[in-house]
Amino acid sequence: MMDLSTRPKEKLELNKLQKRLRRLTGQAIADFNMIEDGDKVMVCLSGGKDSYTMLEILLNLQASAPIQFSIVAVNLDQKQPGFPEHILPAYLEELGVDFHILERDTYSIVKEIVPEGKTTCGLCSRLRRGSLYGFAEEIGATKIALGHHRDDILETLFLNMFFGGKLKSMPPKLLSDDGKHVVIRPLAYCKESDIEEFALMKEYPIIPCNLCGSQENLQRQVVKDMLHKWEKEFPGRTETMFSAIRNVVPSHLADATLFDFKGLKQSPAAFDRLNIISL
């Protein structure tokens, strides 16, 4: 991290930023009961700004939390050409946190199956998720922490609406389909811009994703640009949209599995009152 001992203004800004991220992370953990006493939390570390920030904030909260839980950092080395294998082990050893480097050659599988020029993210994420779920079970982790933030959640909402025909996103807490794993997203309330600024000031050794990060015209990037434009033109819009997914009214949508529209009938008592008023 940059030396801020002689730069009080920057040090103050870093402290304010860290407190805000810690507060929002703590609030999300409490709201969704993400971490419980005795949990072993597997923090998935990709080498990006989000996961570095998540690990630091969770370690910070662990030191003062009223409950006891352990943290283990896990990086999935997908065998991408040129991947700097030394960076994360060196960083984690210096940090003094328990960690594992899980080696799985998902890169070769993705490149073999996905045609040239097509988006690799879908298959890559499924293979990555399967590897991490399996390893979590192997080490006895009770929670799997991912570094998705508020902007990721909103982008996924619009991706599913625009291209999937579904009104869904990334939940802050999720039970895997087989019921074996609980996935948590502690940064669910945090803005990407705050995380980006925090990571820059902390000077994390960022590792870019060369498999999918270099692909242009991804649908997610288009949605991200759209949200950024909206926020620039109408400050606070993304915050309002995020509030919306926390205040869902099924009776004012159109999903008959969530609300009994067929059984919706006029109340006889209300009808009698209407007649009395009319008289």
Higher pLDDT, 122 or 44: 44
Cα-Cα-Cα-Cα dihedral sign, residues 170, 176, 182, 183: negative
Looking at the domain assignment, is residue 264 inside a domain? no
Render pLDDT for 124-160 as a digit per residue (tens, 0 to 9). 677 778 889 999 999 999 999 999 999 999 999 999 9
CA geometry: angle 17, 19, 24, nearest 5 deg: 100
Q: What is the mean pLDDT of residues 62-88?
A: 89
User: What is the reported pLDDT for 39?
Assistant: 98
The one-letter amino acid at 200: L
User: What is the reported pLDDT for 158?
Assistant: 96
Looking at the domain assignment, is residue 53 inside a domain? yes
* Enclosing domain of residue 164: 8-248
Looking at the domain assignment, is residue 253 inside a domain? no
Q: Residue 169: is its pLDDT beyond 80?
A: yes
Looking at the domain assignment, is residue 261 inside a domain? no
Q: What is the DSSP string of the chain?
A: ----TT-HHHHHHHHHHHHHHHHHHHHHHHHTT---TT-EEEEE--SSHHHHHHHHHHHHHHHH-SS--EEEEEEEE---TT--TTHHHHHHHHHT--EEEEE--HHHHHHHHSPTTS--HHHHHHHHHHHHHHHHHHHT-SEEE----HHHHHHHHHHIIIII-------SEEE-TTS--EEE-TTTT--HHHHHHHHHHHT------TTTTT--S-HHHHHHHHHHHHHHHSTTHHHHHHHHHTS--GGGS--TTTS-STT----HHHHHHHHHHH-
Q: Residue 269: is its pLDDT beyond 80?
A: no
Mean pLDDT of the chain: 88
User: What is the reported pLDDT for 123?
Assistant: 65
Q: Residue 2: is its pLDDT beyond 60?
A: no
d(CA 101, CA 89): 8
Burial of 152 per CB tally in 10 Å (0-12, 13-18, 19+): buried
User: What is the reported pLDDT for 122?
Assistant: 67
- Phi/psi of residue 273, nearest 5 degrees: -65, -40
User: What is the reported pLDDT for 125?
Assistant: 73
Render pLDDT for 177-188 as a digit per residue (tens, 0 to 9). 889 999 999 999
Q: What is the mean pLDDT of residues 10-22?
A: 94
209 is in an annotated binding site: no
Burial of 11 per CB tally in 10 Å (0-12, 13-18, 19+): middle
124 is in an annotated binding site: yes
Looking at the domain assignment, is residue 204 inside a domain? yes
Looking at the domain assignment, is residue 86 inside a domain? yes
Least confident of 8-12, 29-33, 61-65: 8-12
What CATH number is attached to the domain comprising 206? Answer: 3.40.50.620
Looking at the domain assignment, is residue 255 inside a domain? no
pLDDT above 90 coverage of the chain, percent? 69
d(CA 49, CA 116): 28
Render pLDDT for 85-108 as a digit per residue (tens, 0 to 9). 899 999 999 999 999 998 877 777
Least confident of 13-22, 122-131, 158-167, 235-244: 122-131
- Number of separate domains in the chain: 1
Render pLDDT for 200-225 as a digit per residue (tens, 0 to 9). 999 999 987 655 544 444 788 899 99
Looking at the domain assignment, is residue 21 inside a domain? yes
User: What is the reported pLDDT for 80?
Assistant: 78
pTM (2 decimals)? 0.87
